Amino acid sequence: MMADDATTNFVKTYAGDIYIPLREIDKELYFPLNTTNQFFKLSYTISGNTIKMRDYSGTDKIAKINQKEVQAVSSLIDGRGDTVILNQNDTVFITGQTDNYYRLSGDDGSTLYVLKDYVTVSEIDLSKIDFYAPKKVKFNRNGGKINLVWQYVGNITPSAPAVKHNGIDILSPTWFDLIVNGDGSVENNGDKGYTDDAHSKGYMVWATITNNMSTKGSTAFTTKTFNNSGLLNRSVAQYIFYSCLYDVDGINIDYEDVADSDAAGLVAFTALLRNYTERQGLVLSIDTLIPRPWTIEYDRASLAKYVDYLAVMTYDEHYAGSPNAGSISSLPWTEEAIKATLKDVPASKLLIGVPLYTRIWTVDDTGKVISNPSATMQAVRNIVSEKGLKPTWLDREKQYYVEYANGENTSKIWIEDSRSISNRLNLISKYNLAGSACWQLSQAEDSIWEVFDGMLKKNKPMSNYNNSY
């Protein structure tokens, strides 16, 4: 059961079979209880090595704890009983109430009391349905600047950051991919534990959905999907269902290598998805390449009507296949892309793309590129330190630059660091943009989030970050 009848009927009609990934541990397969518990009509708690489960009998009211670290007591008589800490989103069973407290029944049969303000009572009898995804309270930035950080996911989701970085608002794991040459179904790599962990630390989670652009045949199958209502509806229904199953707060569309002729199809897909994200209270965003004659597959003006945010991927100015060495994202190139995008997209919806990586360009004596592997911020810092290099500031690109002998060749690096990123973030205030979107988490130094916090949240000047090297 979804937030309303229209969404419920759409998902039931078109989603088809859904799949939940298992995890192999010591040659045994395990299913995720935190994802499947609703299907089994039960709740559970974990204490040490013990899992306690309780079925939804329908006789007790089912509720959720709605705040972090809520204190419950085993007795309302002063000085008696013990205090128990309940976590946000814990399922509890209400067996009675006083004027100010609910009486709860624990999974072990114990009785607890908790203030009513800390409990949200379910309006649905979960013992009678297989799945329930109520409408969320949709995020509104209320004029503040936001920073989204993508997190690349293969088959297994990496951990969310161990602590809350004030410079990160949204984590966007690449979880759901259209299966190329399939029946419209979506490959599911979601992890409910990741969402729960991220939420507990204060992050929002927007699941990134893709058309599997790195897979052979993706462009042709995307065209087929856009022109086949059965394939299109199934993909959208599964994106919505999986997003609700993993309790995310939004969906980020990353459809790339789309045929030029499919610009209208991408808009129609986004509009259909928008209808149901709105009903579920989910934020919807989309990623686009920079405006160029060869990126007409993105009808930015039309797309902007159906999304809350549009992230322009202002990186890969020089990319893996570039014939010449150069910056990943020089400031003039980035600013030009922002100004061009603003012709079609309101500033209040625009997120500037920020690379957290660079490339190590090795060229021969003619300038021919021999190799250009990507490198993390920390890897570059290590190279600079180990080789005793002195970076040079490039005032046009607004980046530090180093080069060094590499056998008979020369290696060159246009560095991404706090100073280059502060110049990029300065464009957010200059053009009053909504915020930024960073690729990707594992490539960053933890210290870089202080720059985002300082400039996006505390209005610190970029001059505070002028001396990274």
Query: Is 283 among the domain residues?
Result: yes
Query: Is 1 among the domain residues?
Result: no
**Candidates 187, 256, 416, 450; catalytic one:** 256
Q: Are residues 311 and 200 in the same domain?
A: yes
Give dist(CA 274, CA 278) in Å, integer: 6
User: How big is the chain, counted in residues?
Assistant: 469
Q: Are residues 300 and 376 in the same domain?
A: yes
pLDDT at residue 123, rounded to an integer: 75
Q: Are residues 415 and 297 in the same domain?
A: yes
Q: Are residues 416 and 312 in the same domain?
A: yes
User: 200: closest CA among 153, 247, 242, 235?
Assistant: 247
For residue 328, the domain's CATH number is 3.20.20.80
What does each of the 469 residues of the chain score in pLDDT, given as a tens digit?
999 999 999 999 999 999 999 988 899 999 899 998 888 888 777 777 888 787 877 666 778 899 989 999 988 887 677 888 888 878 788 889 999 999 998 666 688 999 999 999 887 777 788 888 989 999 999 999 999 999 999 989 999 999 999 999 999 999 999 999 999 999 999 999 999 999 999 999 999 999 999 999 999 999 999 999 999 999 999 999 999 999 999 999 999 999 999 999 999 999 999 999 999 999 999 999 999 999 999 999 999 999 999 999 999 999 999 999 999 999 999 999 999 999 999 999 999 999 999 999 999 999 999 999 999 999 999 999 999 999 999 999 999 999 999 999 999 999 999 999 999 999 999 999 999 999 999 999 999 999 999 999 999 999 999 987 7
Q: Are 107 and 54 within 8 A, CB to CB? A: yes
Query: Is 15 among the domain residues?
Result: no
Q: Are residues 123 and 164 in the same domain?
A: no
Q: Are residues 282 and 369 in the same domain?
A: yes
pLDDT at residue 108, rounded to an integer: 64
Q: Are residues 320 and 199 in the same domain?
A: yes
Give dist(CA 236, CA 224) in Å, integer: 14
Query: Is 13 among the domain residues?
Result: no
Q: Are residues 100 and 152 in the same domain?
A: no
Q: Are 59 and 95 within 8 A, CB to CB? A: no
For residue 106, the domain's CATH number is 2.30.30.40
Q: Are residues 237 and 330 in the same domain?
A: yes
User: 416: closest CA among 368, 459, 379?
Assistant: 379
Q: Does the annotation mark 256 as catalytic?
A: yes
Q: Are residues 332 and 366 in the same domain?
A: yes
129 token code pair:
């349905």
For residue 30, what are the β-bridge partners?
A: 23
Query: Is 17 among the domain residues?
Result: no
Q: Are residues 85 and 234 in the same domain?
A: no
In the three-class reduction of DSSP (H, G, I as helix; E, B as strand; rest coil), residue 352 is classed as strand
Q: For the chain, what is the domain count?
A: 2
Give dist(CA 309, CA 287) in Å, integer: 9
Query: Is 71 among the domain residues?
Result: yes
Cα-based distances in Å from 246 to 4, 128, 133: 18, 21, 10
User: Which domain-ending residue is among 128, 156, 172?
Assistant: 128
Q: Are residues 118 and 159 in the same domain?
A: no
Domain span holding position 49: 40-128
Give dist(CA 450, CA 468) in Å, integer: 13
Query: Is 139 among the domain residues?
Result: no
Query: Is 331 among the domain residues?
Result: yes
For residue 43, what are the β-bridge partners?
A: 54
pLDDT at residue 58, rounded to an integer: 67
